[in-house]
Amino acid sequence: MKLFYTGPVVNTEMLVMMLEKHGIAATQNFVDATLPDDGDLNRPAQVFVPEADYDRAYQLFYAEREDEL
């Protein structure tokens, strides 16, 4: 697994769902796993994707879209 994104859990949860819709099995972990899960949507989290899917995930979410020009 390769780190794909770090940010607030509200974003990571949505990103994991969007990646799964594209057939990429992403996982999410809290940056500091020792803190209690108190429902804070701004708590820092990380999204990991399989190394084999990293380039495709990057193209889906970070590459410039030519059709938007």
pLDDT tier at 66 (50, 70, 90 boundaries)? low
Element (H, E) at 58: helix 54-61
- Residue 12: inside a domain: yes
Pairing of strands 27-30, 44-49: antiparallel
- When divided into structural domains, the chain yields a total of 1
- pLDDT tens track for 43-62: 999 999 999 999 999 999 88
**68 confidence band (pLDDT: 50, 70, 90):** low
In a domain, 10, yes or no: yes
7 assigned to some structural domain: yes
- Quote the percentage of the chain above a pLDDT of 90: 74
Structure tokens at 67: 């059709």
Domain that holds residue 18: 1-32+42-47
pTM for this entry = 0.86
Task: Calculate mean pLDDT across residues 61-66.
Answer: 77
Q: How high does pLDDT run on average in the chain?
A: 91
Residue 27 has a CB neighbour count (10 Å cut-off) of 14
